[in-house]
Amino acid sequence: MNNSGVSVCGSIFILGFTYYLLYTLKMPLLLLKEHLIISLVLLIAAIYTLSRIYEHLYIDKLIIKRRISFFKMLFLFFMFSICINSSLYIFVISLLLKFNFYMGTVALVSVVVLFILTIHYIENQLKYQQEQLEHKNNILTINEQHYRSLFENNPDAVFTLDLAGNFIAVNASVLPLTNLTLEELLQLTLMDLLVEEEKNKMMLILKDVYNGSNASFETIMRTKGEKTVNLKVTALPININEKITGAYFIAQDITKQIEMQNKVRFLAYHDELTGLLNRRGIYRKVENYIHSRTLAAAILIDIDMFKDINDHLGHMAGDIFLQQVANRLHQVIETKGLIGRMGGDEFLICMTETQGKWEVIEILQEIQTAMEEPFKIQESIKEITLSIGVSYFPEDGEDFNTLIKHADMAMYKAKKHGRNNFVEYSSDLEEEKLNQITMLQELKLAINQEQFHLNFQPKHSSNDNKVVGIETLVRWQHPSKGIISPVKFIPLAEQNGLIIPISNWIIQEACRIYSQWIQSYHVSFHLSINVSPAHFLDNGFIDFLIKQAEKYHIPTSMIDIEITENLAIENTELTRKKINILKKKGFQISMDDFGTGYTSLTYLSQFNLDRIKIDRSFIMELPDNRNNGAIVESLISVAKNLDMIVTAEGVETEAQLKILNKWGCDEIQGYYFSKPLPAEELIEYWKKQVKDDC
C-alpha cells in the first residue's frame, strides 16, 4: 500500500472518530463558523501529518530498503490517533458544553504543538532518508563505474545478449577476437558466430542461462576470416528487478592451450620428428592386432652408417634424412601395416593380414629398393643401406615385447653379416643370445682375473723379408673352454662396455713385453696395437697411451696404432682430431682392414695416416681373381701417391708374395712367413732371422 492509500485510510479513521464523538454526545452539529473552520484545520492537519508519517515509512521500506517492524508502524499510528483525537475531543467538548474558551484554546494549542513536533520529527527523518539515498546513489555510481571498467577493460571478451540471442553490447576485446567491427557484430546473433557442430549445444546452454542458471563451457567460434577459435565461456544471466532480461558471455581465447593439449596428446603416441607412431603408440595398436589375430610380422630396421651423416653434415641434416627415410617407408607400406620410429635410426614396421611370409619378403625387398636411390641432404648426396630383422606372429612370439626382442636379435645378426641385408628370426638366434649372456658373465670374470695373453704376428719387408714390425693380437685363455678367438669376444666386449679395460690391458702388456725386448735384444721393429673404435674415441685413451710409453721408456715413433676403416667413416671429425694429436706426439697411425668398409679412396687424403693394411679378403684369391687384383693394385698405387706404407694381410703363397712385390707393396703379413706367435716364440723367431742374415 502506498502513502496515498495510507493517508486516505487515516483520514477516514479520523472522520469516523469525530462522527462517533458527536453522535455519542448527541450534540447537534450547530457550530459557529469559526468553530467549523478550526475543526477543519485540525482535520486537515491530522490528515497531512498522518500522510507524512506514512510517507516516511514508505521511503524507509521501499527506497532505502530499511526493514520496518510491524510494531513501529502500529505504535506511530496509535500514538498519533490518540493524541489528535484526544485533543479534538477536548476542543469539541469545551466548545459545545460552553466551557471556558481559553480551555479550548489550550487544547487547540496542544494540537498545534503536536502537529509541529510531528512535522519536525518527520522532517528529520526525511533528511536522514535523503542522506541515505545520496549514499546509496554514490554506491550505485561507484558500482556502475566498476562495472564499466570491468566491462570495457576486461582482457577477456565480454558479450551482452538479449533474450533473442542478439548482441546488444560488447567490450573492446571482442573485436580483435572476431575480426569484426562493432557495427558488423551488433547485426549478428550468437548463433551466427558458432561453428555448425556447436549450435545445438549452445541452444541448450542458453535455455538454462535464461532460466537463471550460470554456465561454464567450451565452444568453437568462427571469425570473419573463417578461422576457428576455441573459447572457454562463463555465461551469467542478467537479472533486473528479479526479471531476467538477457545474459553476459565472458569468453577467454584458449586456442593455444587447446593446440598445446592436442600436441601433447599427439606426442604421447607419435614421434615429433617424423610424425610416425612412437614406441608407445605402436605398442597400443599392435596389442589390438594381436588380440584380433591380424598381426603378421614385426620388421625392425636400422640404418647402416647413420652416424656418418650426423658427423659429416650435422644433426639437423640427420633429422632431415630421417624424415626422408620415413617418407620412403610410408610410400612402400601404405595401408599394409603400421610404421613407427623406435628412436635414433631404428624404425619398426608391423605387417597386418599378409598372404604369407613370401609377401613379407617382397615388402623387405621393396624397402631395400626404395632406399637404393641416393638421398639429397643439404646439397650433399648420400647412399645408405639397411640392416633388417624380422619376426613372425605368432610363431616367433605372441606379445609385442617378445616379437620386438626377436626382431632385434635378427637385425643385429644382419649387421654382423655385413649390413645391407635382412635376417629372419630363428630359435638359433635365441640360443646364440643365451650363449652371449653366458659369455658376457665369463668375460667380466676374465677381466678381473686377467685370463688373457698376447700373441704377435710379424710383418716382413717385401724387399728383403726382414721383420719390420709385429701386430699385437689378444687371446682369451678360458679355464675350461681353452683358447677363445677375439673374433668371438671382442664384439661382445664392444657392445657391453668392456672393451676399454681389455684394451688398456693389451696396451700395458704389449708395452711391457716390447720394453723388455728393447732392453734385452735392442729390437728395431715397430709395435702395432689394434685399438677398438670405442677405446679410440674414449677421452682417456691418448693420455693412457702416452703414460704407458713413458712408463716403459718406449719411443712413440716405435708404436703404431691401428684403427678400423669404419671408425674413420662414422666419426670423421673426432677421428681426424685424435689422429692429429697422436701424430704430434710421434705415434704412427695405420688403417686396418682397408677395403672392407664403405670408404671412398678420397677419405685417405683426409687423414694423416702412415700406412694402410689391405684386408686379407682381397689377397686370398690372388693372383687368380682379376677383379681383386685390380682393386689391390689400385689401392697400392693411391697409397704410394699419398706417401703411405702399404701392408698386405693374409699372404699365404709365394705367388701372392710375387704379385704384391710386383705392384710395389711394402710390407707382407701372413702365414707365408709366420702365424701369430706367443711372446717367447716371436723373439726367438726374430733372433733366428737376424742370425741367418748375419
Instruction: Tell me the three-class secondary structure of 185-226, residue by residue.
Output: HHCCEHHHHECHHHHHHHHHHHHHHHCCCCEEEEEEEECCCC
Q: Which residues contact 167 (CB under 8 A, 6 or more apart)?
A: 159, 160, 161, 185, 186, 188, 189, 190
Same domain, 594 and 476: yes
Task: Kindly state the average pLDDT of the residues 377-404.
Answer: 87
Q: Tell which residue, 309, 304, 305, has the closest CA to residue 380.
A: 309
Q: How far is CA 83 from CA 99, 114, 527, in A?
A: 21, 8, 137
d(CA 607, CA 571): 12
Same domain, 204 and 330: no
Q: Does residue 217 register a pLDDT over 70?
A: yes
Same domain, 119 and 33: yes
Q: Where are the alpha helices (DSSP H) in 458-564?
A: 486-495, 499-521, 533-537, 541-551
Got the DSSP string for 368-403? HHHHHSPEEETTEEE---EEEEEEETTTT-SSHHHH
Q: Does residue 586 register a pLDDT over 50?
A: yes
Q: Which pLDDT value is given to residue 4?
A: 45
Select from 258, 285, 310 the last residue of a domain: 258
Query: Which range is most confident: 186-190, 316-320, 598-602, 663-667?
Result: 663-667
**Of the listed ranges 96-110, 337-351, 396-410, the one predicted with least confidence:** 96-110
Judge contact between 116 and 48, C-beta under 8 A.
no
Task: Kindly state the average pLDDT of the residues 193-202.
Answer: 91
Is there a domain that residue 640 lies in? yes
Q: What is the 3-state secondary structure (H, E, C) of 133-148?
A: HHHHHHHHHHHHHHHH
Q: Which pLDDT value is given to residue 3?
A: 45
Q: Which residue has the cell 448527541?
A: 26
Select from 218, 234, 258 the last residue of a domain: 258
Same domain, 572 and 659: yes
Distance of CA 169 to the CA centre of its chain: 41
CA geometry: angle 459, 462, 468, nearest 5 deg: 35
Same domain, 586 and 471: yes
Same domain, 185 and 303: no
Q: Does residue 7 register a pLDDT over 60?
A: no
Is there a domain that residue 268 lies in? no
Q: Which pLDDT value is given to residue 516?
A: 95
Is there a domain that residue 410 lies in? yes
Band (pLDDT 50/70/90 cuts) for residue 561 is: very high
Band (pLDDT 50/70/90 cuts) for residue 542 is: very high
Q: Which pLDDT value is given to residue 121?
A: 62
Is there a domain that residue 545 lies in? yes
Band (pLDDT 50/70/90 cuts) for residue 454 is: very high
Band (pLDDT 50/70/90 cuts) for residue 268 is: confident
End-to-end CA distance of the chain: 145
Same domain, 68 and 182: no
pLDDT digits (tens, 9 = 90+) for 144-185: 555 565 556 677 888 889 998 899 888 888 888 888 888 888
Same domain, 173 and 314: no
Q: Tell which residue, 249, 225, 109, has the closest CA to residue 170.
A: 249
Band (pLDDT 50/70/90 cuts) for residue 84 is: low
419's torsion region: left (phi>0), alpha (psi -120 to 50) or beta? left
Q: Which pLDDT value is given to residue 344?
A: 87
User: For the domain that residue 300 is a member of, what is the CATH number?
Assistant: 3.30.70.270
Q: Which pLDDT value is given to residue 445?
A: 93
Grouping H, G, I as helix, E, B as strand and the rest as coil, residue 240 is: strand
Comparing 104 with 676, which gets the higher pLDDT?
676
Per the structure, the count of domains in the chain is: 4
Q: Does residue 305 register a pLDDT over 50?
A: yes
Same domain, 139 and 189: no
**Of the listed ranges 218-232, 446-460, 462-476, the one predicted with least confidence:** 218-232
Q: Does residue 438 register a pLDDT over 70?
A: yes
Same domain, 253 and 383: no
Is there a domain that residue 264 lies in? no
**Of the listed ranges 111-115, 260-264, 629-633, 675-679, the one predicted with least confidence:** 111-115
Query: Which range is most confident: 149-153, 170-174, 313-317, 327-331?
Result: 327-331
Q: Which pLDDT value is given to residue 645?
A: 94
Q: Does residue 280 register a pLDDT over 60?
A: yes
pLDDT digits (tens, 9 = 90+) for 24-78: 554 444 444 455 555 555 556 666 666 666 555 555 555 545 555 556 556 655 6
Judge contact between 321 and 375, C-beta under 8 A.
yes
Report the residue count for the chain: 694
Q: Which domain holds residue 178?
A: 154-258
Is there a domain that residue 508 lies in? yes
Sheet holding 215-222, edge to edge: 167-170, 157-162, 243-253, 228-240, 215-222
The per-residue pLDDT of the chain, averaged, comes to 81
Select from 381, 398, 425 the last residue of a domain: 425
Q: Which pLDDT value is given to residue 381?
A: 80
User: For the domain that residue 246 is a member of, what is the CATH number?
Assistant: 3.30.450.20
Comparing 584 with 603, which gets the higher pLDDT?
584
CA atoms within 13 A on the CB side of 539: 0
Q: Tell which residue, 289, 679, 691, 113, has the closest CA to residue 452.
A: 679
User: For the domain that residue 600 is a member of, what is the CATH number?
Assistant: 3.20.20.450
**Of the listed ranges 13-17, 449-453, 565-569, 574-578, the one predicted with least confidence:** 13-17
Q: Does residue 681 register a pLDDT over 90?
A: yes
Is there a domain that residue 267 lies in? no
Same domain, 248 and 100: no
Q: Which pLDDT value is given to residue 2?
A: 46
Residue 181 sits at φ, ψ, to 5 deg, of -80, 165
Is there a domain that residue 235 lies in? yes
Q: Does residue 549 register a pLDDT over 60?
A: yes
Same domain, 99 and 29: yes
Percent of the chain with pLDDT over 90: 32
Q: Which pLDDT value is given to residue 120?
A: 61
- List 473's β-bridge partners, or say none: 455
Q: Which pLDDT value is given to residue 476?
A: 93
